[in-house]
Structure 1
Amino acid sequence: MPLSDAQLRSLKKGDTPRKLSDGGGLHVLVTPQGGKLWRLAYRYGGKQKLLALGAYPMVSLSDARARRVEAKRVLGAGLDPSAEAKADRVRRKALRADTFEAVSREFLAKVEREGKAAATLTKKRWLVGIATASLGKRPITEITAAEILIPLRKVEGDGNYETARRLRAVIGQVFRYAISTSRVSNDPTFGLRGALITPTVTHRAAIIDRQKFAGLLRALWDYEGTVETRAALKLMAILYPRPGELRHAEWSEFDLESTMWTIPAKRTKMRREHRKPLPALAVEILRDLRNHTGNRRLAFPSIRSPERPLSENTLNAALRRLGYTSTEVTSHGFRATASTLLNESGRWQPDAIEAELGHVGADEVRKAYHRALYWDARVAMSEWWGDEIVRLRNSRI
């Protein structure tokens, strides 16, 4: 005979457990401690089995009956309700564990193991921290595009359009990592690509006029700052590397006899070793610098600590002291200067110039060309550029 709510409420504990059936294998087990536990007896694979459905009154009579119906449906599909219930508990536990914060920690650890630069890691941790403040405790499978838009709009509302764009990109990277580790099936940031304000592109200030560049060179060679800063500024003009590549350079990277500077992969933007020929003018400056910092690991140590490199602010501040504003020239701008004037000279193949700048071609063949085929051209070009700097510096154009 089916049970009733009144009957269930009136049940009292006894000295021994007892069962009261509701039919179809569903029954309530009354324990000596007073518990009223729902159980479903069924057969699967020729064996008698028992499925726990919860305790009364947290699981009501109608809920228990609904769970009986669902278990019968699972049985009808040829599956074991107990095994399916266990798998569902595992899935729910995984949902609670796989929060955005937990998955993003795994993602950052992976990025670190891949050997990304310290500056890159710092930026990603900062951006992930912004996202975690809003999304951190949410199961990553339940996060929607609308939820992601909340922290993006907050950053955008402060006028930080580029930061908002990068934040969306990093959140997308976390989701794509979650896809690759079978936690989610899609990246909700994909649909947000057109939702943010496009930032105005501001190119790093650079002097690309020969006459103005000649004036800058004369100012650099007359600069009266520290030995390290003077040498770094001159080499930025001669070698036009990325500022971080030069500032963090170690003496072990320079072969002054073979006139080559080998920048390790961990410090290049493209994450591959980059070799630069050293013209005679650069070798002369480095030999002089070695008399001052050659007994240290870093070629351009900070005056505050020999184990820390010069900062980019130091180089830009020196340019400001020379009378150049941030809208006229920056340390990174020497790359644009060299690229423009080398191309305008008409002497050098554009691919050789791109190779010297450390840019990667469109495919593996172009990469191979950059590394090998253009080396001789790059050596000749570096010497010509060094001589050109001397000519410009001594000219009165």
Structure 2
Amino acid sequence: MPKRITPLSEITLRTAKPKEKEYKLFDGGGLFLLVTPSGGKLWHFKYRFDSKERKLTFGPYPEISLSEARQRREEARQQIVHGIDPGAVKKAQKQANTEEKETFEIIAREWHTKFSHTWTPGHSTKILNAITRDLFPWIGTRPIKELKAPELLTTLRRIESRGTLETAHRVRGLMGQIFRYAVATGRAERDPAADLRGALPQPNEKHHAAIIDPKEVTSLLRAIDGYTGHFVVKCALRIAPLVFVRPGELRHAEWAEINLDAATWNIPGHKMKMKEPHLVPLPRQAIEILKDLHPLTGSGRYVFPSARSFARPMSENAILAALRRMGYSKDEMTGHGFRAMARTILDEVLQIRPDFIEHQLAHAVKDPNGRAYNRTAHLAERKKMMQTWADYLDGLKAGAKIIPFKKVVS
């Protein structure tokens, strides 16, 4: 069994003193800080490519912070997953002349690095994966000034031909952001992606599959309780219907954000879709699950860490894979479906005020004067709602009489 590496902290890095010989401080996932006898501190990333061990230098600490070093590590690992040697990419960038530095790929990576700190880690990785997979092989080496709308449309139609029209539209939006950044920094004269509006068919609207019938919810909850997979994944499955946050918010939950005594979970704004901090009152049942989990993961950063490394959050596919293992197809239930489940039943069965529900879902809710509610708005009512919801779910599992949906009077 591989030795578990305790993630580094800023305190450890700041207080690391030089020794007679250089030594390494490991953060996990191949990332380590080399401390030299002269007092230098340099980030390195060790990886394997083409069956050979390689090393990449990220730069000195503290100029390159711990969070930035981790972000660069994840970007490099994503490149490896897609068959790209991050060391070769860095070497090519260094050797590039001025004209080559204005290729689409170089500018796109510069744009990604510039703005990735404003996105959640999962969203940042998805963007990098999309442009690496769908754009760089076709237009990555092209000077960005020379790219025109027809060439961009050809690239998007390759995506469309795979039957992923929704992805083609998302990638067109990313193209536009990259071109606008190039215009703003003097490397392009205009955004040709803007000329592609209306050039692709509109995708059919899709909704996340969700179970909303209380009878089927009962079966799902009992299946979760009987899940025999990884304990961390089971805890995430059990808590998902209780708090009904977005899957990415659940995966990236940190112990530092959770106050077990106050029964609250404070999610910082940079992790939220709307970039506003969000407060989740935790019902008694959620606290019990977290207390069960704390002895296993409480010494690390993440509440639901990866099975491979406590330095990383649980995989975005972990919940989906668990649902499939329990027999639920992608057309029946998704990790996002717990939100639709709560929203529908809280409204239609428990008849909770819609604005309480919407606020707890972290949707944009405004007061009568048009101002956005803050994260503590209606906190007492939402605490009561969350406990009522958790008790209702317990009742379903215990075989309580199922309350039907309220009838709409025509």
Shorter-chain TM-score above 0.5: yes
> Over alpha carbons, which structure has the higher Rg?
1
Query: Residue 119 of structure 1 aligns to which amino acid in structure 2?
Result: G
Q: Which residue of 1 aligns with 2:126?
A: 123
The aligned runs of 1:103-142 (5 Å cut-off) are: 103-112=107-116, 114-129=117-132, 130-142=134-146
Q: Which residue of 2 aligns with 1:273?
A: 277
The aligned runs of 1:203-282 (5 Å cut-off) are: 203-282=207-286
Of 375, 379, 397, the match for 1:375: 379
**Higher RCO (CA-CA < 8 Å; seq separation 6+):** 2
The aligned runs of 1:84-233 (5 Å cut-off) are: 98-112=102-116, 114-129=117-132, 130-233=134-237
Could you tell me how far apart the structure 2 residues matched to 1:183 and 1:365 are?
A: 44
Q: Does the 8 A contact of 1:319 with 1:329 survive in 2? A: yes
Indicate the larger mover: 322-331 or 125-134: 125-134
Q: Does the 8 A contact of 2:249 with 2:272 survive in 1? A: yes
Q: Does the 8 A contact of 1:277 with 1:379 survive in 2? A: yes
1:218 and 1:102, CA in 2 relative to 1: closer, same or farther beyond 3 A? closer
Q: Does the 8 A contact of 2:277 with 2:375 survive in 1? A: no
1:233 and 1:271, CA in 2 relative to 1: closer, same or farther beyond 3 A? same
Could you tell me how far apart the structure 2 residues matched to 1:329 and 1:97 are?
A: 45
Q: Does the 8 A contact of 1:355 with 1:370 survive in 2? A: no
Q: Which residue of 2 aligns with 1:20?
A: none
The share of aligned pairs that are identical, in percent, is 42
1:367 and 1:345, CA in 2 relative to 1: closer, same or farther beyond 3 A? farther
Partner secondary structure for residue 305 of structure 1: coil
Q: Does the 8 A contact of 2:211 with 2:333 survive in 1? A: yes
1:391 and 1:372, CA in 2 relative to 1: closer, same or farther beyond 3 A? same
Q: Which residue of 2 aligns with 1:302?
A: 306
1:202 and 1:283, CA in 2 relative to 1: closer, same or farther beyond 3 A? same
Could you tell me how far apart the structure 1 residues matched to 2:384 and 2:301 are?
A: 30
Q: How many positions carry a matched residue from both structures?
A: 304
Displacement of 1:236 in angstroms is: 0.3
Q: Does the 8 A contact of 1:248 with 1:300 survive in 2? A: yes
Could you tell me how far apart the structure 1 residues matched to 2:171 and 2:229 are?
A: 38
Q: Which has the higher helix share?
A: 1
Partner secondary structure for residue 262 of structure 1: strand
Could you tell me how far apart the structure 2 residues matched to 1:230 and 1:103 are?
A: 42
Q: Does the 8 A contact of 1:360 with 1:367 survive in 2? A: no
Q: Does the 8 A contact of 1:205 with 1:328 survive in 2? A: yes
Displacement of 1:279 in angstroms is: 1.0
Of 287, 293, 313, the match for 2:291: 287
Query: Residue 198 of structure 1 aligns to which amino acid in structure 2?
Result: Q
Of 342, 346, 355, the match for 1:351: 355
Q: Which residue of 1 aligns with 2:364?
A: 360
What TM-score, normalized to structure 2?
A: 0.67
Could you tell me how far apart the structure 2 residues matched to 1:278 and 1:193 are?
A: 44
Partner secondary structure for residue 327 of structure 1: coil
Could you tell me how far apart the structure 1 residues matched to 2:121 and 2:145 are?
A: 30
Q: Does the 8 A contact of 2:279 with 2:376 survive in 1? A: no
Partner secondary structure for residue 372 of structure 1: coil
Displacement of 1:339 in angstroms is: 0.9
What TM-score, normalized to structure 1?
A: 0.69
1:370 and 1:350, CA in 2 relative to 1: closer, same or farther beyond 3 A? farther
Q: Which residue of 2 aligns with 1:58?
A: none
Query: What whole-Å deviation, never above 9, does each CA across 1:222-278 have from its counterpart, x for those lacking one?
Result: 333333222211100111111222222222221011110112233222223211001
RMSD of aligned alpha carbons: 2.6
Query: Residue 170 of structure 1 aligns to which amino acid in structure 2?
Result: L
Partner secondary structure for residue 275 of structure 1: strand
Q: Which residue of 2 aligns with 1:332?
A: 336
1:94 and 1:115, CA in 2 relative to 1: closer, same or farther beyond 3 A? same
Q: Which residue of 1 aligns with 2:398?
A: 394
Q: Does the 8 A contact of 1:261 with 1:277 survive in 2? A: yes
Q: Does the 8 A contact of 2:367 with 2:373 survive in 1? A: no
1:317 and 1:177, CA in 2 relative to 1: closer, same or farther beyond 3 A? same
Query: Residue 271 of structure 2 aligns to which amino acid in structure 1?
Result: R
Could you tell me how far apart the structure 1 residues matched to 2:373 and 2:257 are?
A: 23
Could you tell me how far apart the structure 2 residues matched to 1:258 and 1:362 are?
A: 26
Query: What whole-Å deviation, never above 9, does each CA across 1:73-114 have from its counterpart, x for those lacking one?
Result: xxxxxxxxxxxxxxxxxxxx98775333343233112212x4
Gap runs ≥5 in structure 1? 1-92
The aligned runs of 1:23-102 (5 Å cut-off) are: 98-102=102-106
Could you tell me how far apart the structure 1 residues matched to 2:102 and 2:310 are?
A: 43
